[in-house]
Structures are given as C-alpha cells and as structure tokens.
Amino acid sequence: MRPPFDPTLYLVTDTELCGPRPVADVVRAAVAGGVTAVQVRDKNASRRDLLALTRAVQAAVVDAPGVCVVVNDAVDVALLADADGVHVGQDDLSVVEVRALVGPDRLLGLSVSSRAELDAALALPTGTLDLVGLSPVWSTPTKPDAGPALGLAGIRDLAAAARAGGLAAVAIGGISAGRAAEVAATGVDGICVVSALCTAADPTDAARTLRQELGRSRPAE
C-alpha cells in the first residue's frame, strides 16, 4: 500500500536557491505554513550528500505525519532513506524498472512535458505510476532546459487526461503566489513550486499565502 499522498502544495527543494539556510530549515518552515509534500531535489549533490539531505528533510517533517518525502531521481537514496517515494524524469531509469526496485509501497512520480509522454505513461501497467508532474507551465529560470511552456490550456488538457487514466497530476514551472489560483483552476491535484518557497525570506508566510491562493481557486467544470 502506498502512503497517503496530498500533493496540494508540493515543495521541490533547490539547495542553491535556499542560499545559506539549510534546506531542512526551509522545509520545516514551509511545512509550518502549509506545504503538504516535499521532493528532495539536488542535481549537484553526491549520492552520499543527497542521502544526508533526505534524512535531514525527513527529520524536519517528522512532526507533520501527513507530509510525504519523495526523492528526485535517486532510487538508491530513496530506498536507503526509506523515503515515501521517488520522482523520475523521462531520461532516468524507466518507471517500470523503478517500480520493480521500489516495490508496491512507495509513491512513484514521472515528469511529463507532452501529450505523447503522457500517453506513454497512461499505457503503463496499472499500479506502475501514481503521479505525473506536468511541466513547465511557464518557462522558469529554475530549470532553463524545461522545454516549451504548456500554458494553462495545455495543463488543463493533460491534467484531464491523466486523471481520466487514474493518475494524479501536478503542475510545475514558473508558479508564483500570484499565479497559483489559475493553475489550480485547471483541475490539477496540486501545484509544485521551487523558487516561490526556496527563495522566500519567510517560507512559512510564503507557504501560507500559496495555500490561501489555492483556496481561492475552483476547478473549471
């Protein structure tokens, strides 16, 4: 059984963007403001450092039992840390292989940037994937190579198809507090943010504001 997963406000960490602050401190503060899930992402860290970072993040959310911790890319780190899940991209190990490695009790997410990638995800055996991350909504300096922007209409179409196929869908890329409500209104299950929280002077306040904005949105009929 997978752990219960609430992707409403999904923080993806960026060690550099957290500046001098320990990532785990930023996570703790953001969770206090209403972050519901955390993905540990650090493309520059060694496996050893990523494992330490994951454990620090897990310790930071220990008093928020509903908050899942997911590791980006590194299946070995996710297993060693006993993380709640793994998130991989199109160029990582195939999700069928990742599912075989992590077993049935962990969450598995996949980044999707086009209808063709989503169709391939929907064609996977049932139970392989839990979630797709639709990206980028808008172009973003946080990930300059993220590919063409899908825009709100693109996210709406992909989210509807993902959900019809039994997958949760989150959107990522360029989402700020001022744009959170319109993204949520596309019908996604949640939004992912990096810079909106990692660069915030007060991540608790920033997370609270994002949650308020999400509360304002109503998915379109």
By a kind-dependent CB cut-off of 5 to 8 A, residue 146 interacts, out of ligand TZP, Mg ion, none, with ligand TZP
Minimum separation from the CB atom of position 195 to ligand TZP (A): 3
Backbone region of residue 53 per phi and psi (left: phi > 0; alpha: psi in -120 to 50; beta: other values): alpha
143 binds ligand TZP (CB under 6 A): yes
Q: Which stretch binds ligand TZP (CB under 6 A): 101-109, 132-140, 152-160, 202-210?
A: 132-140
> What mask, x for binding ligand TZP by CB under 6 A, covers residues 153 to 172?
-------------------x
Cα 174 from Cα 13, distance rounded (Å): 14
Distances (CA, A) of 22 to 11, 29, 53, 60: 15, 11, 9, 11
135 binds ligand TZP (CB under 6 A): yes
Cα 152 from Cα 137, distance rounded (Å): 7
Cα 131 from Cα 133, distance rounded (Å): 7
140 binds ligand TZP (CB under 6 A): yes
Q: Which stretch binds ligand TZP (CB under 6 A): 98-106, 123-131, 137-145, 158-166?
A: 137-145
Backbone region of residue 147 per phi and psi (left: phi > 0; alpha: psi in -120 to 50; beta: other values): left
**109, 173, 180, 178: which is closest to 142 by C-alpha?**
173
Residues that bind Mg ion in the complex, under the rule CB under 5 A: 73, 89, 92
Minimum separation from the CB atom of position 137 to ligand TZP (A): 8
Nearer CB in complex with ligand TZP: 34/173: 173
**195, 204, 173, 183: which is closest to 16 by C-alpha?**
195
Minimum separation from the CB atom of position 89 to Mg ion (A): 3
Cα torsion for 183, 199, 42, 28, to the nearest 10°? -90
Residues known to be catalytic? 41, 111, 143
Q: Give the annotated binding-site residues.
A: 39-43, 72-73, 92, 111, 140-143, 174, 194-195
By the criterion CB under 6 A, which residues form the site for ligand TZP?
12, 135-136, 140, 142-143, 146, 172-175, 193-196
